[in-house]
């Protein structure tokens, strides 16, 4: 296990916060979320076989509906408009079930 300096940790944390803000900016309109709805995006390490090393978990919390978890098979900074629309289509399918 390597040593991570506080400076490096802060830089990575700031980079993830910026990537999360960009992801939310493309996800909110794609998911057609209201101001009352909440959205969470987190990059996690995935150790399951067949899973990418890093994936992004998107939690969609619509008012008066159960929370839905969506997965983007890639890093947070790779979540673009095309991925946001694919996740929105997946969320529509989940809402219909």
- Show pLDDT as tens, one digit a residue, over the chain (97 residues): 567 888 888 888 888 899 999 999 999 999 999 999 999 999 999 888 887 889 999 999 999 999 999 999 999 999 999 999 999 999 999 888 7
Contact 39, 61 (CB under 8 A): yes
pTM to 2 decimals?
A: 0.85
Unique residue bearing structure tokens 């900074």: 77
Structure tokens at 85: 């629309």
**Domain boundary assignment for the chain:** 6-96
pLDDT of residue 28: 97
* CATH class of residue range 6-96: alpha beta
Residue environment code for 12-50, b if the CB has 16+ CB neighbours within 10 A, otherwise e = eeeebeebbeebbebbeebbebeeeeebebebeebeeee
């Amino acid at each position: 296990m390597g040593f991570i300096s506080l400076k490096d940790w802060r830089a990575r944390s700031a980079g993830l916060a910026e990537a999360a803000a960009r992801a939310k900016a493309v996800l909110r309109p794609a998911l057609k979320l209201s101001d009352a709805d909440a959205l969470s995006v987190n990059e996690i390490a995935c150790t399951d076989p067949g899973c990418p090393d890093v994936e992004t978990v998107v939690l969609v919390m619509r008012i008066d509906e159960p929370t839905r978890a969506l997965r983007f098979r890639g890093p947070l900074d790779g979540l673009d408009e095309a991925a946001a629309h694919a996740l929105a289509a997946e969320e529509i399918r989940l809402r219909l079930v």
